[in-house]
Structure 1
Amino acid sequence: MDTNAETTEKTGGWRGSRKVWLDAAREAFVTSGIDAVKIQPLALRLNLSRTSFYWFFPDRAALLDAVLADWEATNTKSLERATQEYAETIAEAVLNLIGVFLDGGPFETRLDLAVRGWAHQSDEVAARVHAADAARLEAIRTMFDRFGYSAGEADVRARTVYLTQIGYISMQVRETMDERLARVPDYVATFTGRAPTGSEVARFRARHEAQ
């Protein structure tokens, strides 16, 4: 078999693909916990042979590490990008950040909750959660710094924004989109000390009501 053919077989076809196995593992993890992420049950779910798994991952530990890497790329990186988006005011910057967490946004709250649950069983995972939290807080602090807040105020406001959202996740708060959107202007005023303008709120609502 030539190299190109071998590469094709390792990334698709009847063996599935790395993404197919990873997506299945993530869904099992989010819905049933870390103990559900096992090779044979995933193979049955995908209607693939168990040996197909080993074309993409050397073992279960590598798959679990890929789930963690996917969580970091999906959630931490999306939050960091939001804090760096263009904004003329701090209110607009915080609206950009809040939008990440809404339904249809890139931050996957069920995945974040699942990883935090996993951290209670693993010191290694707990360390990665702590590192992710630190990176997210630093990104939000930097956002406030950019708009002229003092170091101490930027730190406390960043914590207020982030810990509020983590509270939403850990408490599994259920709100309709209308309820959440109605609260957003007051959240922004609380987080920043400055009320968003009507046009800023209108743009935010239009963007997320469309989702």
Structure 2
Amino acid sequence: MEAPAQTEEKTTGWRGSRELWLDAACDALLEGGVDAVKIQPLAARLALSRTSFYWFFRDRTELLDALLERWEARNTASLVAGCEAYAETLTEAVLNLTAVFLEEADFAPQLDFAIRGWAHQSEAVTARVNAADDRRLAAIRAMFARFGLPPDEADVRARTVYLVQIGYIAMQVRETLATRMGRIPAYVKTFAGQAPAERELARFYARFGYKPGS
């Protein structure tokens, strides 16, 4: 169905908005996989007419592509930004990256899980996931290289960090904040090859409102 001409109502109004439809599609993806992302059920979820959808997307394919773009813009971009964040030491850099995985407002693990599940049904999505993984690993390698690690070591340490986190996502591991924080010093030592300084850990804990021993 051809979309109506661009108007003020194209982006907002009683038909909802592009972001509203995309939010609903994302929720459906998380709840039921890509097969749950269908126009009529989304319209029912939003209490809007099916035709309202076409003010914002040409068809379901465009909506699905927008979901992939949102995932890349959210998860991959936040990971890259975490790798590039200022750090005085390698251990601080690893803590910055670790924070990305814990701050789900930026990196959404359930969205990553859903996209990877979708990839099992689509070669095109598999290619997008592989490209995202390559970009993420390149950013982590660059982070290690920034602190003088040789290429081979930077690559192995980057894979160690990333594959551990992907394992958390794939296994849908659930830990309490205290449990995860209790493991952070050992994780950092494993990833970086050196233990974080107490002041670095203190800043990291404060970022999440965590007080050791509480």
TM-score w.r.t. length of structure 1: 0.95
Q: Tell me which residue corresponds to 2:183.
A: 183
Q: Tell me which residue corresponds to 2:140.
A: 140
Q: Deviations along 1:128-150, whole A, 9 cap, x unmatched? A: 00000000000000000000000
CA shift, 1:105, in A, is 4.2
CA shift, 1:208, in A, is 1.3
Q: Deviations along 1:107-132, whole A, 9 cap, x unmatched? A: 00000000000101000000000000
Q: Tell me which residue corresponds to 2:3.
A: none
Residues 136-175 of structure 1: matches in 2 within 5 Å? 136-175=136-175
CA shift, 1:93, in A, is 0.4
Structure 1 runs of 4+ aligned residues shifted over 6 Å read none
CA shift, 1:13, in A, is 1.0
User: How far apart in 2 are the matches of 1:174 and 1:17?
Assistant: 34
Q: Tell me which residue corresponds to 2:207.
A: 207
User: How far apart in 2 are the matches of 1:152 and 1:84?
Assistant: 20
SS across alignment from 2:58: coil
User: How far apart in 1 are the matches of 2:141 and 2:104?
Assistant: 25
Task: State the AA in 1 paired with 2:127.
Answer: A
Q: Tell me which residue corresponds to 1:114.
A: 114
User: How far apart in 2 are the matches of 1:180 and 1:106?
Assistant: 18
Task: State the AA in 1 paired with 2:169.
Answer: I
User: How far apart in 2 are the matches of 1:25 and 1:130?
Assistant: 23
Q: Deviations along 1:153-204, whole A, 9 cap, x unmatched? A: 0000000000000000001111001111111111000001010000000000
Specify every segment of 5 or more residues in structure 1 that has no aligned partner in the other structure, as ranges: 1-5
Specify every segment of 5 or more residues in structure 2 that has no aligned partner in the other structure, as ranges: 1-5
Task: State the AA in 1 paired with 2:171.
Answer: M
CA shift, 1:8, in A, is 2.2
RMSD over equivalenced CA pairs, Å: 1.0
Q: Tell me which residue corresponds to 1:61.
A: 61
Is this contact kept in 2: 1:95–1:188, CA < 8 A?
Answer: yes
Q: Tell me which residue corresponds to 1:124.
A: 124
May I ask how many residue pairs the two structures share in their alignment? 205
